[in-house]
Every structure is written in C-alpha cells, then in structure tokens.
C-alpha cells in the first residue's frame, strides 16, 4: 500500500478511528499490528511469512542472548540471527546478482555453464526490517539495553506500518518504550502530523513525480549522447527527485506516526546544504548512516587503529552501504565514490591539524578547494561544490549499467561532440528553477528541523501553504508513482 494512494487514505482513517476509541491499550496495539500486516500484505501477502519468521526468531534469540553468559553459546545464538536475517536478505535481494556474477566468472575461465535463472521476487522493505531486527539482536549480544518484554511489543516495533517499508530505520530504544504506556495524539500532535503527512505527499507527488521524474527518466533512458545542458538537467532532476521522493516518504512516516501519538527519528536535514561529505551523511538518510556507523564502521575498528585502517574501514562501510541499496555494481561504484570523498576529506582534515591551522578551519575542512574553506562568506560555495560531487555520484546510482553512466558523464563534460538535444525548453527551465529553489531552501533552513519551521511559522501562512499543497496534490495525483526506495 502506497502513502500516495486513495486506499491508504481509507486505511489511515480507519486506523485513526480505531486508535481513538476507548479500547484497552493492549487491544489498540493489536489493532496497530493487524493494520501493519494489512498495510504490508497489500504488496504480496505471502511475504508476511518472512516478516513473521524474522520477528519471532529475533525476539527469542535476543532474549536468550541477553540472559546467556557463556561466550560460545552467545556467539552461536548471534550467528543464528545473522544467518537468518542476512541469509534471507542475500537470497531475495542478491540471489540473481550472485548467480549472474558466478556464471560470468566461470564462463570467463572457459567453463560453459548456463543455469536456469531463478524467478526471485524482492519483498518490499526487506532491507529496512532486516536492519531493524538485526540491531536488536546485536544490542542484546552486547547487553546494551534490555529485552523487549512481550512478543506483541517486539512485533509492533518491527512492523509498525509508518516505518516498515522504507524507514526511518528505528532502534529498539527509540520506539519500544513508546509501546509500554498508552499513547494518544494530542490535538497539537494530530495537526502537526497531518501537516507533515501532507508535506511528505506534496514532496513526493508534486515535486518528485510531476516536476522532476519525466526529465530524469528521459535522460537516463536515452540511448544516444546528449548535449551537456540536457545531460546536466537530467542528472540534476534526479538529484532533486530522489531527495523529494525519499525525504517525502520519511516525512509521511513521521507524520503518520505522530497522528497516532508516536515519535519517529528524523531522517533528513536539508542535506544539499552540507559543508562536507561527513556533514552530508549526517543529513542524508540519517538513520541508515547512524546504523552503518554503529554496527559496521565502529565494530571494524573505526578510527581507533591508525590512519590506514581508518581509510579501509571508511571504504568498506561505504562499499557495503552502496551494495545495501541494490544488487548491482553501479551501486557499489556509487558507494565507492562516497568512500573516496570521505577518505580525501579526512586526509585534508588531518593535514590541516598537522599544519597547525586554527580550530575553526579544521572544523570546516573538507574535500573542497582550499580557497573555498575557512571564510563564512564562502560556505555556500563549499556546499555547491559538495552538491556537485554528490550529483556526479548519483549518475551511477540511477544508471542501469556502466555504459549508460559513461554515456551520461561523457555528455555532461562535453567529451562527445555528437550530442543531441532531448529535453524541451520548458523542461530545462523547470529543472533549473526547481534545483535552484531546492538548494536555496536547503541553505536557508540548514540549521532547522521541519518541526521547528512549523512552530515558527504564522498559522495563517501555514494554513495557506497547506491549502495550496492539498490542491496541487489532488491535481497531480494521477501522475504519481511508487517510492524509489521501495526497491531497496
């Protein structure tokens, strides 16, 4: 079930009505759980079995891990959880990818092997709920926190419908305690939640799908070289599209949870205003970045084992982060580019410290030309430089193969002199205006959160903006698509 569908509107009204009735708290939680399963089953009902398996196994394994003192038994239990979760993820998400690469490898060395290709359907949201349950068992292994008391609370933690399919990726301590006592949205929470839900849908339906999806799709699906202006417009359109699409989903999720009286963590904070690549990952998909830091980068050694190991850990983390997004080498290259950005940024920071520059310069040091770093008047130029390199990396993220990526990059930088025009003048103007407005908005609001902005805005202005968004939503709904991150 999509947030941007009329079926969700009906579903959400029913959930709000049931949650507002004078039922015991346990009954309300059961209602939320059943509703979450119905929400998930709208895609493919049989995949609920995978969700149940992951939930039940990790609930009991997590409790056993916390109570077990024998190190060997604890490791065995952790391995059971890892095999169950990662094995399921690898089969459904990476099965075809691994098989294709194995066939290519054996054919390269002269073995004629051509097996039948299995028909594997990727369950919606499997990457998200796998990471959600994994962090619980790892926390129980480390005894960071206490086991969830009931299977009902744990099931609801895993399957709570706002975050189930595309995040935010929640930790046990962020959501489970909220299920322990009755929750009912206040009038203030309900209004704010409905506004956030409307804002998220506006970002997805109007900005991502109506304004930016068409030029992005046209450019990335082109079979021939393009003029630089068309190539850049298409890539910039995707930069905006993926932000509005994914941040729109996260905003919808936070708003829907708030309408029910629950709080989900912030997942985006105006990332295109980032003054460096570390800053970008503190602003983009915040919950995934924190997950990779806490459960991959730090366990690998983080920055505690010397400079060389730090760079290796950064690269491994970003390579696996890229692969998490999809079973394709283009995603690996996208992750590798961000790994290189982070490594170079860190190297420049270390050199700044070594040369004894002021602390303010160190805090702003990043992978940018030296003449841009240091003065506050140039911070916007720094953000533009970071945005430029992030946009170049998006080429690999969006491209279906390397030939498409190379053709686009060649067109963007004028390396192919036979490029053709593709987009209309209206499309070009639309993309550059939206991109400019997006960057300006991110820069001006970079130190605020959406909720801060709502609280600071006059209610009359907010009401007019809300009405305009709703009108545009109704007008644009027919052009809406599924969320990009559903495929991950």
Show which residues are catalytic: 325
Chain length of the chain: 488
Classify residue 114 as exposed, middle or buried by CB count within 10 Å of its CB (0-12, 13-18, 19+): exposed
Q: Using an 8 Å Cβ cutoff, are 275 and 366 in contact?
A: yes
Burial 171-196 (b: 16+ CB within 10 A, else e): bbebbbebbeeebebeeebbbbbbbb
What is the C-alpha radius of gyration for the chain, rounded to an integer number of angstroms?
23
- SS3 label, residue 420: strand
- SS3 label, residue 226: strand
- SS3 label, residue 469: helix
Nearest-10 Cα torsion for 93, 99, 102, 104: -110
Phi, psi of 268 (to 5 degrees): -140, 140
C-alpha closest to that of 196 among 3, 482, 33, 42: 3
């Amino acid at each position: 079930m999509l947030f941007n569908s009329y079926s969700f509107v009906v579903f959400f009204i029913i959930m709000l009505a049931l949650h507002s009735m004078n039922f015991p708290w346990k009954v309300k939680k059961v209602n939320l759980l059943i509703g979450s399963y119905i929400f998930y089953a709208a895609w493919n009902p049989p995949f609920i079995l995978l969700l149940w398996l992951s939930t039940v196994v990790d609930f009991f394994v997590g409790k056993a891990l916390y109570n077990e003192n024998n190190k060997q038994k604890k490791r065995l239990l952790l391995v059971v959880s890892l095999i169950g979760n990662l094995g399921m993820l690898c089969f459904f998400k990476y099965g075809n990818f691994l098989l294709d690469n194995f066939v290519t490898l054996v054919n390269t060395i002269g073995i004629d092997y051509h097996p039948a290709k299995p028909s594997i359907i990727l369950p919606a949201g499997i990457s998200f709920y796998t990471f959600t349950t994994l962090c619980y068992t790892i926390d129980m292994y480390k005894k960071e926190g206490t086991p969830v008391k009931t299977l009902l609370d744990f099931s609801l933690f895993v399957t709570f419908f706002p975050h189930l399919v595309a995040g935010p990726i929640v930790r046990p301590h962020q959501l489970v305690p909220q299920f322990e006592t009755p929750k009912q949205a206040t009038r203030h929470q309900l209004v704010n939640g409905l506004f956030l839900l409307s804002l998220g849908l506006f970002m997805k339906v109007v900005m991502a799908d109506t304004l930016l999806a068409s030029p992005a799709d046209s450019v990335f699906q082109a079979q021939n070289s393009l003029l630089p202006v068309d190539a850049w417009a298409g890539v910039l359109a995707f930069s905006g599209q993926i932000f509005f699409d994914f941040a729109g989903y996260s905003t919808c999720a936070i708003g829907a949870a708030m309408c029910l009286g629950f709080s989900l963590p912030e997942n985006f904070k105006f990332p295109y205003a980032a003054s460096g690549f570390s800053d970008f990952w503190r602003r983009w998909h915040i919950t995934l970045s924190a997950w990779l830091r806490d459960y991959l980068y730090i366990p690998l050694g983080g920055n505690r084992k010397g400079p060389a190991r730090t760079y290796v850990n950064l690269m491994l983390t970003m390579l696996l982060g890229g692969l998490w997004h999809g079973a394709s080498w283009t995603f690996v290259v996208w992750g590798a580019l961000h790994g290189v950005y982070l490594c170079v940024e860190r190297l420049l920071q270390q050199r700044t410290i070594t040369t004894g520059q002021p602390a303010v310069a160190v805090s702003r040091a990043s992978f940018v030309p030296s003449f841009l770093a240091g003065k506050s008047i140039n911070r916007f130029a720094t953000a533009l430089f970071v945005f430029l390199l992030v946009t170049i990396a998006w080429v690999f993220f969006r491209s279906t193969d390397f030939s498409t990526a190379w053709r686009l990059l060649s067109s963007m930088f004028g390396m192919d002199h036979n490029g053709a025009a593709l987009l209309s003048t209206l499309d070009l103007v639309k993309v550059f205006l939206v991109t400019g407005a997006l960057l300006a908005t991110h820069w001006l609001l970079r130190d605020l959160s959406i909720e801060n902005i709502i609280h600071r805005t006059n209610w009359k202005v907010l009401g007019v903006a809300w009405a305009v968004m709703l009108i545009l939503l109704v007008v644009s709904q027919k052009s809406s698509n599924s969320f990009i991150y559903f495929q991950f």
